[in-house]
Amino acid sequence: MKLDVHRLLAEINEAKKDPRACDRLIEQYMPFIRSETAKFLKRDPSPEDDELSIAMFAFYEAIRSYSPIKGAFLKFAALQIRSRLIDNYRKERRHQGQVSLDAPIGSEDDGLTLMDTVQDESRPFEELGVREATRQEIAHLTAQMEEFGVKLTDVADNAPQQQRTLAACQKAVCYARNNKDVLDEFLRTKRVPLTRLAEGAGVEKKTLERHRRYLVAVLLVCTNGYEIMRGHIMQVLKGGEAS
């Protein structure tokens, strides 16, 4: 029993550092996650249920935030899952008064639904094309980030949380975008020119140091070859404040 506990703790610690280990641990505990979801739904969850996805995400949150002083991991994770599912239920309840697009129209024999009568403004084929192009850009970006020793999960962990910090980083990115030699130096040396960015943008060098990996990702997006992603974060690249 003690060995199991120690093994679980070791796996959790490893999962905190390595996303692949985290995925493995989640896969390993899928029966537990299903069971907790079933307790909430009072039925077996299907793989398409959003509740199951949210329960898995809650389990991931539990892995990230767990420490031994919080008690047994599984109890902690169960509480986390239940809380998340309740939050989601309350959030979804706000939309209960709305009519479903799948609601039948006329007699049920006709088999027509509301969705059949609504004009679909989306262009699925175009969207699929854009999505594919975006996917390629992201794959390219991820590969290029590997050269800098940075992963997307690292960027997510290292991204600024406070508005003031985010504004300082965006200021530095704008400065780099307006000074091509800075970007060239960045690509050539594969190091973020923190001193130049700090001096040129007038921000604290220490602030930029703390978010170096985030700057790597955004500065790479600013270089040529990432048109779609640049379009997505145009607000930043124009030098505007993040909303």
Residues that bind other proteins in the complex, under the rule CB under 8 A: 19, 22-23, 26-27, 48, 50, 53-54, 56-57, 59-61, 64-65, 69, 88, 130-135, 137-139, 142, 152-153, 155-156, 159-161, 166, 170, 173, 214, 217-218, 221, 229, 232-236, 242-243
Q: Report, in Å, the least distance between residue 165 CB and other proteins.
A: 11
By C-beta, is 163 or 195 nearer to other proteins? Answer: 163
Q: How far is the CB of 130 from other proteins (least distance, A)?
A: 8
d(CA 241, CA 165): 11
157-166 contacts at long range (C-beta below 8 A, 24 or more positions apart): 158/210, 158/211, 158/212, 158/213, 158/214, 159/211, 159/214, 160/211, 160/214, 163/242, 165/207, 165/210, 165/211, 166/242
Q: Which is nearer to other proteins, 9 or 167 (CB)?
A: 167
CB closer to other proteins, 20 vs 43: 20
**Closer CB to other proteins, residue 73 or residue 214?**
214
CA–CA distance, 79 with 89 (Å, rounded to integer): 15
Q: Which is nearer to other proteins, 57 or 194 (CB)?
A: 57
CB of 161 to other proteins, least distance (A): 7
Q: What φ, ψ does residue 203 adopt, rounded to 5°?
A: -120, 170
Least distance (Å) from other proteins to the CB of residue 43?
Answer: 19
If the CB atoms of residues 205 and 230 are measured against other proteins, the closer one turns out to be: 230
Contact (Cβ atoms closer than 8 angstroms) between residue 150 and residue 213: yes
**Least distance between other proteins and beta carbon 173 (Å):** 8
Shortest reach from residue 136's CB to other proteins, in Å: 8
User: How many helices (H) and strands (E) would you count in the chain?
Assistant: 15, 0
DSSP string of 19-86, one letter each residue: HHHHHHHHHHTHHHHHHHHHHHHTSPPPTT-HHHHHHHHHHHHHHHH--GGG--HHHHHHHHHHHHHH
Q: How far is the CB of 103 from other proteins (least distance, A)?
A: 22
Q: Please, which residue, 105 or 131, has the CB nearer to other proteins?
A: 131
Identity of residue 224: N
**CA 212 – CA 232 distance, rounded (Å):** 21
Nearest-angstrom CA–CA distance, 49 and 227: 34
